[in-house]
Amino acid sequence: MTNKKVDITRYAAEQSGWPSDDKNIKKLVPIIWCSTRKKSKGGLRLTDEGFELLSKTITFHRVRFDSDVDYTSQLLIRLDNYIDCPWYINRSEMYVTDDHLAIQLVLFSGNIAKFTSAKAESIKKSLTSS
C-alpha cells in the first residue's frame, strides 16, 4: 500500500529539484503536512509551508467564505476525515485540489460547518440503510 502523503511529498520534492530519497522525504513530511499519521483516508491538511510549496506545482481551487470562520477542533477533525485531497484553510478561504469537492464547497456557499454536518449526516444515513 502506498502512502498518499509520501507520494505527494516525493512529487513536490522532485518538482522543486530537491532530493527525493526516503531520508529527505521523512524530513519533509512534517514540514508539509499538519498531521504525519498514516491514514487510509483523509489527513491531507497542509501547513503554511506545505501549501506554499505544493501551490507551485499543483492546481488548487479557492473557495471563499462569506465571513471569517472561527473553526473549532471538531470542525478541523471532520474536514480532515472527509477531505481526501490536499487542502489548506485559513479564516477567510479554503483551497482544495479536487474539482468535485470545490464545487460541493461552493454550493454550500463556503459554509464549511454546514458542509461537514451534511457529510456526517450522509455517512450516518448510508450506515443505517445498509
Residue 129 forms part of a structural domain:
no
> What's the pLDDT at 126?
77
Distance CA 47, CA 13 (A): 16
Residue 112 forms part of a structural domain:
yes
What does the pLDDT look like over 16-44, one tens digit per residue?
999 999 999 999 999 999 988 877 777 89
Residue 125 pLDDT more than 90? no
Residue 24 forms part of a structural domain:
yes
Overall number of domains in the chain: 1
pTM score, two decimals?
Answer: 0.85
Cα separation values, 75 from 10, 112, 113, Å = 29, 8, 7
Residue 62 forms part of a structural domain:
yes
> What's the pLDDT at 27?
95
Residue 18 forms part of a structural domain:
yes
What does the pLDDT look like over 51-100, one tens digit per residue?
999 999 999 999 988 777 777 888 888 899 889 999 999 988 999 999 99
> What's the pLDDT at 1?
36
Residue 130 forms part of a structural domain:
no
The set of residues, in sequence order, having a beta carbon less than 8 Å from that of 58 and lying 6+ positions away, is 12, 86, 97
Residue 15 pLDDT more than 60? yes
Residue 74 forms part of a structural domain:
yes
Domain containing residue 107: 4-124
Cα separation values, 79 from 56, 74, 76, 89, 127, Å = 23, 9, 5, 10, 19
SS (H, E, C) the chain: CCCHHHHHHHHHHHHHCCCCCHHHHHHHHHHHECCCCCCCCCCCEECHHHHHHHCCCCCCEEEECCCCCCCCHHHHHHHHHHCCCCEEECCCEEEECCHHHHHHHHHCCCCHHHHHHHHHHHHHHHHHHC
